[in-house]
């Protein structure tokens, strides 16, 4: 039973991973955060970003060697293009006072 619990924890590590900003993260952080990514594929993202500039959309990841539509579909909820703390937050208009 104990082995099963340990195995479950190890296999589910990416389930609880937080999204990663692919425009600022290093290869290790990307590999840790994205399911199915090893260091080689994560390093390809960093190399492409360094050469071509920041990613703007998920479709930009198609330009990275080894990343296709199926991979993008798997990681789309785990990829950020900017940090939440630095992203502008829309401010709701306040109701007019009389």
pTM for the model: 0.68
Mean pLDDT by 10 residues, the chain (98 residues): 54 63 97 94 97 96 94 95 59 53
Cα–Cα separations (whole angstroms), residue 29 to 1, 17, 43, 97: 31, 10, 10, 49
Strands (E) across 5-89 are located at 20-21, 79-80
**C-alpha span between 59 and 61 (Å, rounded):** 5
Structural fold of domain 18-80 = DNA polymerase; domain 1 (1.10.150)
**C-alpha span between 22 and 95 (Å, rounded):** 38
The ranges assigned to domains in the chain are 18-80
pLDDT of residue 20: 96
């Amino acid at each position: 039973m104990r082995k099963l619990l340990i195995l479950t924890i190890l296999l589910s590590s990416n389930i609880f991973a937080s999204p990663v900003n692919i425009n600022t993260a290093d290869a290790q952080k990307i590999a840790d955060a994205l399911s199915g990514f090893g260091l080689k594929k994560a390093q390809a993202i960093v190399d492409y970003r360094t050469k071509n500039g920041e990613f703007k959309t998920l479709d930009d990841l198609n330009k990275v060697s080894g990343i296709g539509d199926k991979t993008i579909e798997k990681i789309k909820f785990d990829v950020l293009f900017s940090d939440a703390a630095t992203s502008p937050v829309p401010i709701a208009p306040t109701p007019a006072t009389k």
